[in-house]
Chain A
Amino acid sequence: MMRFLLLFSRQGKLRLQKWYTPLSEREKKKIIRDMTTMVLARQPRTCNFLHWKDLKIIYKRYASLYFCLGVESQENELLGLEVIHRYVELLDKYFGNVCELDIIFNFEKAYFILDEFLMSGEIQETSKQTINRCIENSDMLQEDYNNEWYEVELFG
């Protein structure tokens, strides 16, 4: 089971955080601090897996962003890498050539996509098309809603 997923930049600024276990604010902050220090300190050619307390940490660097996944010790690490990659692909498909700015400005969409893909620490759906269709549907709902408002404005 996955415990948490963090995204942070090379400067250590946190972009996304998703927690799959209940933790207090203090603990979350502590974990974030530990993760950023540990992962940012790693050399480029070292392997992507770490041990931290009783969890395994799987991290991958994409351009200037570090994706950090904390899983329990029985999980398969290579699969964890693939989870990260799958998520990046989903973001890529949705935003079209995603970059860090996209995530900064549309962080709620990033969270929606993540929730479609992972749920309570487990993979929910692995098919890219299905997830994309779901996100597109929810986008359409949102637009309709916005349009309605707009019409009311005009006439109101």
Chain B
Amino acid sequence: MDTIVSSASTDLQDYTYYFVPAPWLSCKLLRLLQCYPPPEDGAVKGRLVECLETILNKAQEPPKSKKVQHSNAKNAILFEAISLIIHYDSEPNLLVRACNQLGQFLQHRETNLRYLALESMCTLASSEFSHEAVKTHIETVINALKTERDVSVRQRAADLLYAMCDRSNAKQIVAEMLSYLETADYSIREEMVLKVAILAEKYAVDYSWYVDTILNLIRIAGDYVSEEVWYRVIQIVINRDDVQGYAAKTVFEALQAPACHENMVKVGGYILGEFGNLIAGDPRSSPLVQFNLLHSKFHLCSVPTRALLLSAYIKFINLFPETKVTIQEVLRCDSQIRNSDVELQQRAVEYLKLSSIASTDVLATVLEEMPPFPERESSILAKLKKKKGPGAVSVTELDDSKREAGELNGGGERAAETAAMAASNASTPSPSADLLGIRSSAPMSAAPAAAGSLLVDVFSEAGPAAPAAAAAAAVNNDGFLRELEQPTDASEALLVEGSGDADSAPASDDPAPPLSDADDLLNKFVCKNNGVLFENQLLQIGIKSEYRQNLGKMYLFYGNKTSVQFAGFSTTVSCPGELQSQLNVQSKPVEPLVEGGAQIQQVLNIECLTDFSEAPLLNIKFRYGGALQNLTLKLPVTINKFFQPTEMASQDFFQRWKQLSQPQQEAQKIFKANHGMDTEVIKAKLLGLGSALLDNVDPNPENYVCAGVIQTKGQQVGCLLRLEPNGQAQMYRLTLRCSKESVSKRLCELLSEQF
């Protein structure tokens, strides 16, 4: 290889192409070298490096011929050599020289060279050594972006800016890209929008800047902002409390512009609906003003946006009761409830009924703020990968992530409302005589039960269609049930096919003994409040619970997985033995009939009188196809649910620790780790426990320290917790100090199962 490069031009007369010896052969050889890893042998490496340096040197010499072919050939070898250098990525001085050479090319007269230089710099920017060198050329690149006449060169410049972006120049680059976006070619706009969104998110030091950038993005290139981008900004706004007020204000101002893009209306509607109360104090953005602003855009929007705005209106009713009448007027008007689009009609009717029937409490629960979303791979990145290389990301994966994101926004809300509708219907047993009432309850329960009633008819005919329909209903039901669970931080696997004991158990009227794996189920719920409690082929039981001070509210969802109705469905909650005096559980009665594929809800009110160690039992009895089913489960109410986190400084902590130094007050356990010792998982569990995780208290940074107060009716029990993991031995030492002995024992037992 280097014989060719260093030979005089007269040797290979025939193969000399405009004074460049054998260009094609050289390039092929250089590319071949790229396939191999860099040579380890010192001598070979030396020769190779020398060779590459010669090539780079030759590039500096004045051209031997004026012809463009000569320079093309010379530069072809040069670029090939540069890509070899980038591939090896081990010789810093070569890399820097290459980078400088490319920098010179950036301002060359010939467009081809500029294009290629930008492209090579893109690959160069990803290597660590040359990243700094690349950044020095940022001014040139920005200039190129603005002044180039050739659109493909501008595109390469934009790509390069994206590649060389990092924390120091992020703001500048994003600003440049935004200004370029205004004049950019239509074909590349969508890609640029995605890139700007990703950059803004990755390097956002200050989240209000991020919100600004995204809103600007929507303003400039609204059409090309795909769904993922604005889902993402909403996810981020919801996850971060500090930026919510700022987001609400900015969105409000943005909406006041006369020509507002539809995506902006979507984002604005959603954010004002969730956080409008944060800016309601200001007279310029009072609730009525906000509502009028949104409503003025209502008629300009497409159906999905209108649906979103209707949801925002019902949230307004919840946040600002004074606007209730106005909004109800809007919902009542013909264009909504007789709208040709089924979705809009349904929403208008339901929201109208909801606002008039439900009490403020129910409304508040239904329309509670969206909880923070779980962190997941950004669907934007997935979409960008898809655009760049069709083979890279499978379409189904993408669809899943899109669907999930959609589900989070649309599904979570809708499902919560429909569940509450079930609740409100259960509490008003007499069906209202007016058509609207019947109609409003019908579409809602139609969703879960229409399939069921259809099935009952078909089943009586015993046609072959029944199993197919049943399967469809089961799938439907599962999906529906899954949607009902609010997205939470826990990612524990759902229980699949619990023991089939329930079916085969002999029919008896007495409460069956608790299931054998009831304890495991209980353990799963120590650190989380929502999930599926139990599932077998007939029944699925999900719970959602929340606790405040010493009171708790638990929603139990019983789902009938079969196509046949359950008759005589009854549930009883009992507190065995001492628990009776320690815990007070009240439940509202459930309907005795559960249709096939339907789900009913039961609310339990729990009051903690004093600390307890046992769990209350839930006994469920029903008749399925003639056989009596009887099963008992333990309700996952544990003492840690009444934990209130308390923040305290390290001196306070140690002071209290010393105060609780009596032997009965301390419970210590050393146990082997049951799960992997991942820091984030442990932190999440401790937070899920309900206690406050304290930083900088324990001198050893590996240890976890928590503090909280257990609220009972009678007294408050202070609790301090210290968890010391030992990575090498895969063991933990858990120390608990509480002012009451039984509490420390019980908590210690519970927690040792968790890790």
B76 touches A85 (CB 8 A): no
Interface string of B23-46 (1 = CB under 8 A from A): 111010001000000000000000
A76 touches B25 (CB 8 A): no
Residue of B nearest to A50 (CB): B152
A47 touches B24 (CB 8 A): no
A16: Cβ under 8 A from any B Cβ: no
Interface string of A54-90 (1 = CB under 8 A from B): 1000000000000000000010111101100110000
Alpha-carbon distance between A129 and B22 when the two chains are bound, in angstroms: 14
A43 touches B76 (CB 8 A): no
Find chain B residues with CB under 8 A from A78 CB.
72-73, 75-76, 79, 112, 116
User: Taking each of A51, A54, A77, A128, which has the highest tally of chain B beta carbons within 10 Å of its own beta carbon?
Assistant: A77
A82 touches B23 (CB 8 A): yes
B122: Cβ under 8 A from any A Cβ: no
Find chain B residues with CB under 8 A from A4 CB.
none
User: Taking each of A43, A82, A126, which has the highest tally of chain B beta carbons within 10 Å of its own beta carbon?
Assistant: A82
B151: Cβ under 8 A from any A Cβ: yes
B110 to chain A, nearest CB (A): 8
- The answer to whether A82 and B111 touch (CB under 8 A), given A76-B27, A126-B25, is no
A82 touches B76 (CB 8 A): yes
A-B contact count, CB below 8 Å? 70
Contact of A79 among B27, B114, B115 (CB under 8 A): B27
B15: Cβ under 8 A from any A Cβ: yes
User: Taking each of A48, A54, A76, A123, which has the highest tally of chain B beta carbons within 10 Å of its own beta carbon?
Assistant: A76
A122 to chain B, nearest CB (A): 9
A97: Cβ under 8 A from any B Cβ: no
Contact of A47 among B27, B69, B79, B150 (CB under 8 A): B150
Alpha-carbon distance between A43 and B72 when the two chains are bound, in angstroms: 21
Residue of B nearest to A75 (CB): B31
Find chain B residues with CB under 8 A from A51 CB.
152
Size of A's binding interface in residues, CB under 8 A = 24
B492: Cβ under 8 A from any A Cβ: no
- The answer to whether A126 and B24 touch (CB under 8 A), given A43-B149, A82-B69, is yes
Interface string of B126-159 (1 = CB under 8 A from A): 0000000000000000000000011111000000
A106: Cβ under 8 A from any B Cβ: no
Find chain A residues with CB under 8 A from B69 CB.
82, 85
B9 to chain A, nearest CB (A): 15
A11: Cβ under 8 A from any B Cβ: no
B75 touches A127 (CB 8 A): no
B298: Cβ under 8 A from any A Cβ: no
Alpha-carbon distance between A74 and B22 when the two chains are bound, in angstroms: 20
B80: Cβ under 8 A from any A Cβ: yes
Alpha-carbon distance between A128 and B153 when the two chains are bound, in angstroms: 34
B547: Cβ under 8 A from any A Cβ: no
Residues 102-117 of B at the A interface (beta carbon under 8 Å) = 111-112, 114-116
Interface string of B367-407 (1 = CB under 8 A from A): 00000000000000000000001000000000000000000
Residue of B nearest to A54 (CB): B389
Alpha-carbon distance between A86 and B151 when the two chains are bound, in angstroms: 28
A76 touches B80 (CB 8 A): yes
B71 to chain A, nearest CB (A): 9
Residues 61-90 of B at the A interface (beta carbon under 8 Å) = 69, 72-73, 75-76, 79-80
Residues 1-17 of B at the A interface (beta carbon under 8 Å) = 14-15, 17
A94: Cβ under 8 A from any B Cβ: no
Alpha-carbon distance between A86 and B153 when the two chains are bound, in angstroms: 26
Alpha-carbon distance between A9 and B576 when the two chains are bound, in angstroms: 93
A26: Cβ under 8 A from any B Cβ: no
A45 touches B115 (CB 8 A): no
Find chain A residues with CB under 8 A from B115 CB.
47, 49
B149 touches A46 (CB 8 A): yes
B25 touches A82 (CB 8 A): no
Alpha-carbon distance between A50 and B111 when the two chains are bound, in angstroms: 13
Find chain B residues with CB under 8 A from A129 CB.
14
B150 touches A126 (CB 8 A): no
Residue of B nearest to A89 (CB): B69
Alpha-carbon distance between A46 and B155 when the two chains are bound, in angstroms: 13
Residue of B nearest to A77 (CB): B116
Q: Can you report 26 residue pairs joining A to B where beta carbons are below 8 Å apart?
A: A43-B150, A45-B111, A46-B149, A46-B150, A46-B151, A47-B153, A49-B112, A49-B115, A50-B152, A54-B389, A76-B76, A77-B116, A78-B72, A78-B73, A78-B116, A79-B27, A79-B73, A79-B80, A81-B72, A82-B17, A82-B23, A82-B73, A123-B24, A126-B15, A128-B14, A130-B14
Residues in chain A within 8 A of chain B (CB atoms) = 43, 45-51, 54, 74, 76-79, 81-82, 85-86, 123, 126-130
Residues in chain B within 8 A of chain A (CB atoms) = 14-15, 17, 22-25, 27, 31, 69, 72-73, 75-76, 79-80, 111-112, 114-116, 149-153, 389
Identify 10 new A-B residue pairs, CB closer than 8 A, beyond the known A78-B72, A81-B112: A46-B149, A46-B153, A47-B150, A48-B112, A49-B152, A74-B31, A76-B80, A78-B76, A78-B116, A127-B15
